Structure 1
């Protein structure tokens, strides 16, 4: 029996969707990292019940942190992306979380830069707040150790390929780290949207929609570029096709980043070795009903899609590109940012 709904929601489902193809399905994935991070901070005495936790989010981390704060008697304040929808806004409000949402924007860079500026304003006014730094503090890796253990119990990980969004760097990066402690040959395939600088696609814009949760327009220190074997850049139209096909073929109702992961995982399974391929479904499809599922008749057949194989970042292009990354370091234009640094005068709660 669980003591709180957040504990139950942090448990993923492992689903066989095809021969050698598996889905690690979360209701809200980042509950795993938020719960573990908050527990660790409480145990260390860095924060105490009643303190306010602050962070930026494009969606699912906001909900995860609000649930973790509810679970442990803390206050929550979120600087939210333009992509935070009315359903999530209502949930955050009822949970007692305060949301500062950015104005509408079709630019990932503008949206994230606005959030950075707002975080700094809030911390300058409230130095007693604890900034969670989901993009920069490796404390967010901790929660995925138990998930990796679950995967090891259920799958042969000796020749496993894990496919999922790069995002803040904590989820797929942490899974690979913990899995490789027992199975060094585990391959990691990361997903990026066009327009994200994390793996050097800032020069290619997606005119349709931002898949904000798996990319970034600013450097994220939690991303370990040297962990990734392969990178897929997936545009909105291709990701939408994946989401619809996953629901139609396998009855898994999941979000847009999951559609991209499913698309890439199917390709890797068909063109790789004989080992199992596991893709991460980070959230459900409820946020994407209008943009993705209500227009399901418009999507092409999945069999019509294949990635453009590229050897250089200058060759990236829509709707889908793939590069053998080979566990290289970050592109030269991606350097450690200052987003994770404390503004003048700020001290985390002690």
Structure 2
């Protein structure tokens, strides 16, 4: 009898996505916990540089799955972890993180500038001051966040060959900018589409605290967002992202979260408009965390977030500072953000 196959266990086994074909030219990369890529890579690189020792406390600010991914990696590798989050950490996610042995502190009031994210950073600064032997992964600024996705790009190219368009949501900038950089080396002419939400500062909208659509967008501008990586930007509202998640479930039995819904909405349209181009969308979150919100029809109705039907196409806008909540797109053309905003000011003045 031959030897039994050996499977990798733990977080490393959960990193790779499932690749599904939804249309002749449209693929989706479906993740359980996409943030395992940067969490694992950042911690391992820090260990290799001896920035993490046997008594080092790992500290980070997050209210999403990066915290869960860090908790998984730190538990496996024997590191203490203390996270700073806000009310966006739902009970299920919090309990999973606590069950892995991490500590969590929750901020309840936004900072005057920078909202809840800045308030979390302020508390994180205090934690770092109180614990001399600490390591901060700094997902918003650490270039290892983006570098970690070279592995994903290599896998996508190995399985699909030439990819013409990559579409995904933008939050810290790591997943899209890192994957696009590495994939662009393998796929000449790669078109990169970033998906944001209204009231996020990432691509020039004024900050709006209290955004319901989380997991993408930001009240701060992370260094890992490389604006010159993007050819096109879409803004998707919470209502449309929630409805898109429902539609994705109905059409394809894919039970995904609203961030995935937003990416799928933009990517489905782009693939339809360019039938001769091969399109890949990154769907970073599953739907299990959202049973009491996005998938609760009473919760949606109470907040006026129900949709009878999804819009069939985005509206093309001529400035990132447009008003309104509709699904919109803008030709970014791989420019720096100061170039785009300066051009928008000139157009408005004219």
Q: Give the alignment's TM-score, normalised by structure 1.
A: 0.88
Aligned pairs, number: 330
Instruction: Confirm or deny: 8 A CA contact 1:194 1:206 kept in the other structure.
Output: no
Distance 2:160 2:338 in 1: 33
Could you tell me how far apart the structure 2 residues matched to 1:104 and 1:9 are? 34
Distance of 1:118 and 1:142 partners within structure 2: 27
2: CA distance, partners of 1:331 / 1:269? 30
Q: Give matches, 1:10-25, under 5 Å.
A: 10-25=15-30
Higher Cα radius of gyration: 2
Structure 2 residues without counterparts, runs of 5 or longer: 1-5, 342-350
2:147 pairs, out of 142, 164, 183, with 142
> Is the Cα–Cα contact under 8 Å of residues 173 and 223 in structure 1 kept in the other structure?
yes
CA gap 1:308/1:291 in 2 versus in 1, 3 angstroms: same
Change (3 A) 1:90 1:294: same
1:254 counterpart (253, 256, 259): 256
Which of 175, 184, 189 is the equivalent residue of 1:185?
Answer: 189
CA drift of 1:332 comes to 6.7
1:285, 1:108 → 2: CA distance? Answer: 31
Q: Say yes or no: does 1:92 pair with 2:97.
A: yes
The answer for the alignment partner of 1:337 in structure 2 is none
In structure 2, the residue matched to 1:340 is: none
Task: Give 2:224's match in structure 1, choosing from 222, 225, 239.
Answer: 222
1:294-345 Cα shifts (integer Å, max 9, x gaps): 228943223x4421211112324312111011011124799xxxxxxxxxxx
CA distance in 2, matches of 1:316, 1:10: 38
**Which residue of structure 1 aligns with residue 241 of structure 2?**
239
Q: Could you tell me which residue of structure 2 aligns to residue 287 of structure 1? A: 289
Aligned to 1:300: 308
More displaced stretch, 85-94 vs 137-146: 137-146
Secondary structure of 2:215's aligned partner: helix
Q: Which residue matches 2:316?
A: 309
1:47 matched to 2:52? The reply is yes
Asked if structure 2 preserves the Cα contact closer than 8 Å seen for 1:228 and 1:327, the reply is yes
- Look up the match of 2:348: none
Instruction: Give the corresponding residue for 1:263.
Output: 265
Aligned-pair RMSD on alpha carbons? 2.3
Q: What secondary structure sits across from 1:249 in the alignment?
A: helix
Shift, 1:110, TM fit: 2.0
- Whether contact under 8 Å (1:211, 1:236) holds in the other structure is yes
Contact 1:200 1:331 in 2 (8 A): no
Corresponding residue for residue 275 of structure 1: 277
- Matching residue of 1:170: 174
Name the counterpart of 2:334: 327
Superposed CA deviations along residues 240-278 of structure 1, whole A, max 9, x for unmatched, are 111011100001111111000000001111223511111
Alignment of 1:180-219 (within 5 A): 180-202=184-206, 205=208, 209-219=211-221
Deviation at 1:3, TM superposition (A): 4.5
Could you say if the C-alpha distance between residues 109 and 211 of structure 1 is closer, same or farther in structure 2, counting changes exceeding 3 Å?
farther
Residue segments in structure 1 that go unaligned for 5+ positions in a row: 335-350
Contact 2:169 2:195 in 1 (8 A): yes
Structure 2 SS opposite 1:322: strand
**Alpha-carbon distance change, 202 to 134 in structure 1, aligned in 2, over 3 angstroms:** same
Q: Tell whether 2:69 aligns with 1:64.
A: yes
Q: Report deviation, 1:206.
A: 8.7
* Secondary structure in structure 1 of the residue aligned to 2:321: helix
Deviations 1:220-254 (A, max 9, x none): 00110000111111110110111011100001111
Q: Secondary structure at the match of 2:161?
A: coil
Residue of structure 2 equivalent to 1:7: 12
What does residue 348 of structure 1 align with? none
Match of 1:38? 43
TM-score, normalised relative to structure 2: 0.88
Task: Determine the C-alpha separation between the residues in 2 that align with 1:179 and 1:134.
Answer: 21
- Post-superposition Cα deviations, 1:91-131, rounded to whole Å, max 9, x if no partner, equal 111101111122277x9942112111111111111132111
Would the aligned equivalents of 1:164 and 1:191 in 2 still touch at CA under 8 Å? yes
Could you tell which deviates more after superposition, 291-300 or 7-16? 291-300
